[in-house]
Amino acid sequence: MSKAKVLLSFDVEEFDLPKEHGVDISLDKGIKVSKSGLLKILKILKRQKVPATFFCTANFVEAEPELIRQIAKDGHEIAGHGVDHFEPQKNDIEIAKKKIEKVLGKKIVGYRQPRMQPISYGKMKKLGYLYDSSVNPAFIPGRYNHLDVPRKKYKKSGLIEIPTSVATIFRVPLFWLALHLFPQKIYFLLTKMSARKTGYFATYFHPWEFTDLRKFSCVPKYIQHNSGKKLEERLENLIIKLKRDDFEFQTYATYAKI
């Protein structure tokens, strides 16, 4: 029996959460906040010797080219995540690919649309993408309703879709916010149950979550909860537990090719 896979990913974008709550923040400041959290994440992955996929905006890649190239050199996957996270445009899927590949020096094959918004599968296939991961098969009020889509990997218009994992009961999302709010034992149990059902566990976080969000009064308390150092500890504990249970960590590109 093959091992269940863990697809760990991070949406590397400029920190723009304050803008969602009516508070302006410059691009430079947003990049700085996210870079701070990203460096903490990379230390955890290096200690635990596991690969991950980093869905990056072109804004961040162009601001931190050396860091992005080093992440790829260390065995992680770089994928696309639009151009400007707060103001996505119609042609971002194509523009982001060109800009990221120019910095990286090689092709990228994966994409995740900012805020998990709809994408054109046919267009992505023509552009040379192998897979997409813009679907959370759950209901998030004010964001999306994907209760009718499959929980596990499927093909659409020739493109592979890798949905984010949800709980087996009521499709409760097991994404970033769940690790903030759920007791760790409950989160780990739900993770294992989901992986047994689909053969994999796929989740995502944002580097800015790993900074002290209490400095930003506009950020809702439920997002501030267990952010910064506490989330670092929770993420590393999760990785350790999954390794002990003999899960196999892979990048999204590797899993898409299976």
Please report the domains of the chain, with CATH numbers, ordered by start residue: 5-256 (3.20.20.370)
Per-residue pLDDT of 5-18, as tens digits, reads: 999 999 999 999 99
Residue 139: Cβ-neighbour burial (10 angstroms; 0-12, 13-18, 19+): middle
pLDDT in tens, 58-111: 999 999 999 999 999 999 999 999 999 999 998 999 999 999 999 999 999 999
- Token pair of 34, please? 């996210």
In this prediction the pTM is: 0.97
Residues 125, 80, 65, 103, Cα dihedral to 10°: 10
- Are 11 and 112 in contact, with CB atoms under 8 Å apart? yes
pLDDT value at residue 3: 87
204, β-bridge pairs: 9
Q: What is each CA distance from 208 to 64, 91, 129, 232, in whole angstroms?
A: 15, 26, 27, 11
The rounded mean pLDDT for the chain is 96
- DSSP structure string for 80-117: E--SSSSS--TTHHHHHHHHHHHHHSS---EE--GGG-
Residue range 142-171, pLDDT digits in tens: 888 999 999 999 999 999 999 999 999 899
Reported as a single tens digit per residue, the pLDDT across 202-251 is 999 999 999 999 999 999 999 999 999 999 999 999 999 999 999 999 99
